[in-house]
């Protein structure tokens, strides 16, 4: 499986062979949906919280006598049927929303999603990207040059979640150069996950010959 390698100026730098175990997988919606939903559930913060009748203030005294007044019987104003009483079956912040995702299943979901993005023409491979010093102007120029590549025109116009730039290692100059671009995320490829693949339209992988080794499934 051959693909084109580009420079950060948007020019062709030859071709290289892609690992089929990463970019040659058929789409499996069951695996992808299960992993994404589990990760989203685990990322939830249970902040909504209601008090039950044992937690609300007051209500220690019986509102009125049991009989003789012609009223319904009540033992406490904490009852859920009273205004400012406890809430029955309301949301509680101690609810555990963590979901376990096996490492192999998560890795497979990543490769399945990368395979689909590659088939859709949404994965770009660069031989490298470097800046001497952090400069937003240099990053803007790079985006414009990469947008000149056929199929990646929206890199320069898409205002939200345009590009996920995957580096082989931490590079502060590149990260800071794109720091003011709200539509670009810069991370190491080893930190990629299915949520960002579902979020960003384009994935740009630098130094793919070495970088992709972290995604090859272990036997």
> CA 174, CA 46: separation in Å to the nearest integer?
36
126 lies in which domain range? 2-44+99-215
Q: Closest Cα to residue 201, out of 135, 145, 121, 140? A: 121
CA pair distance 13, 24, nearest whole angstrom: 23
Burial of 86 by CB count in 10 Å (0-12 exposed, 13-18 middle, 19+ buried)? buried
* Exposure b/e, 18-55, CB count within 10 A at least 16 = b: beeebbebeeeeebbeebbebbeeeeeeeeeeeeebee
User: Average pLDDT of 21-41?
Assistant: 94
Please provide the average confidence, as pLDDT, over all residues in the chain: 91
What does residue 12 show for φ and ψ, rounded to 5 degrees?
Answer: -70, 135
178 and 114 in one domain? yes
Q: Is the pLDDT of residue 59 over 90?
A: no
**Entry pTM:** 0.82
Are residues 146 and 194 part of one domain? yes
Domain count of the fold of the chain: 2
Q: pLDDT for 144-190, tens place per residue?
A: 999 999 999 998 888 999 999 999 999 999 999 999 899 999 999 99
């Amino acid at each position: 499986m051959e693909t084109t390698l580009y420079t950060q100026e948007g020019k062709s730098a030859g071709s290289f062979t892609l690992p089929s175990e990463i970019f040659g997988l058929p789409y499996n919606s069951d695996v992808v949906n299960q992993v994404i939903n589990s990760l989203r559930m685990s990322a939830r913060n249970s902040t909504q919280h209601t008090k039950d009748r044992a937690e609300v203030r007051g209500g220690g005294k019986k509102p009125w006598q049991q009989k003789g007044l012609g009223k319904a019987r009540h033992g406490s104003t904490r009852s859920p049927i009273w205004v400012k009483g406890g809430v029955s079956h309301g949301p509680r912040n101690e609810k555990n929303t963590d979901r376990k995702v096996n490492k192999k299943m998560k890795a497979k979901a990543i490769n399945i999603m990368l395979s689909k993005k590659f088939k859709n023409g949404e994965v770009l491979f660069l031989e490298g990207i470097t800046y001497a010093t952090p400069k937003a102007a240099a990053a803007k120029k790079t985006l414009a040059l990469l947008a000149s590549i056929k199929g990646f025109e929206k890199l320069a116009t898409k205002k939200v979640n345009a590009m996920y730039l995957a580096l082989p290692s931490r590079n502060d100059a590149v990260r800071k150069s794109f720091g003011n671009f709200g539509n670009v995320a810069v991370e190491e490829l080893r930190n990629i996950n299915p949520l960002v693949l579902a979020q960003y339209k384009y994935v740009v992988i630098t130094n793919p010959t070495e970088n992709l080794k972290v995604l090859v499934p272990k036997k």
